[in-house]
Structure 1
Amino acid sequence: MTDLTNTPTLHSVGFPPVIGDHPNILILGSLPGIASLTQHQYYAHKQNAFWRMLEALFHIPANTEYAVRCEQVKAARLAIWDVCHSAYRPGSLDSAITRNTVIANDINGLLAQHPSIKLLAFNGNAAASLFNKHIRLIQPISTLILPSTSPANASIPYVKKLERWSVLLNYRD
């Protein structure tokens, strides 16, 4: 008999959004990877640059407790969510997401509840591609594709990613 207790789940289910009262920017990833699912945290992989990016741009300390980071995300008028509510995916690579198994999050519903959101910022091309395939916006909103903070996107140096991500500062009140 095979022991499956340490086998990562292939059908991944994401997390609820991290969102405060009046966010300006919704940062959308694709679907949490194994490290994130295991730790019940967005962008939990140690080599993912997401939290370092938010520290550099919005002064949210990357090494503080997750709950504190989430509160600071809300205070910075940011929101974090994923395009996918769930999907079949062996491993953590976005390229392994089986596209016809994707169940999308209700992005339109979130935008209706939070009309202060002015920008959808995609954390990588995969998130943007999944969004374009599975979601039709009810109302127009600005979108921006940013370089993925994933360690799988190592071809772009952190400094270049940070430079591209810094455009988010233009959408703050």
Structure 2
Amino acid sequence: MPNQQSSALRVPEADASVDPAEFRRVMGHFATGIVAVTAHDPLDGEPVGLAANSFTSVSLSPALVSLCVAHTSTTWPRIRRGGRFCVNILGERQQAACAQLARSGGDKFRDLDWSVAPGGLPVLPGALARLECSVTAEHPAGDHVIVVAQVHAMEAGPVGGDGPLLFYRGGYGGFRS
């Protein structure tokens, strides 16, 4: 049986030979889906949200997912303090909603079409799927934090509907199988 002890991990220092702009350009060759993370801020009851393209499943049992959020995000602390949040997997027709939630500051929900899910969280109509989650761990990673969250409820739209909203080489697009 492999050793499952936790070991201290070394926090890497920036490698001066890796230009951040070039790293972003090269990584842009990897197409990613986009999610909108939504919640209610318990302090003012307002809906809050952010867009992320670093989202993945982590474990089937228990059901865990992860996403990465910039340390500079002013929205993530508001989402986290609500306890639960919704991950909306965006469809190809939701580029405008993605852009609105990706911007910094301000009322990101102004003029944004949204509703309340049975669990009480704000959700985006037209999302391909939704997962209601709560944070189980946060891991610092460079200029981001890796958030690991447990899934408590989920639903997916009908098969054969819209394709996913994808981010590739600095632009948005869709995919049809």
Does the TM-score normalized on the shorter chain lie above 0.5? Answer: no
- Higher-Rg structure is 2
Higher helix share: 1
Higher strand share: 2
Please give the TM-score of this superposition, normalised by the length of structure 2: 0.30
Question: Which structure's relative contact order is higher, taking Cα pairs within 8 Å and 6+ residues apart?
Answer: 1
Please give the TM-score of this superposition, normalised by the length of structure 1: 0.31
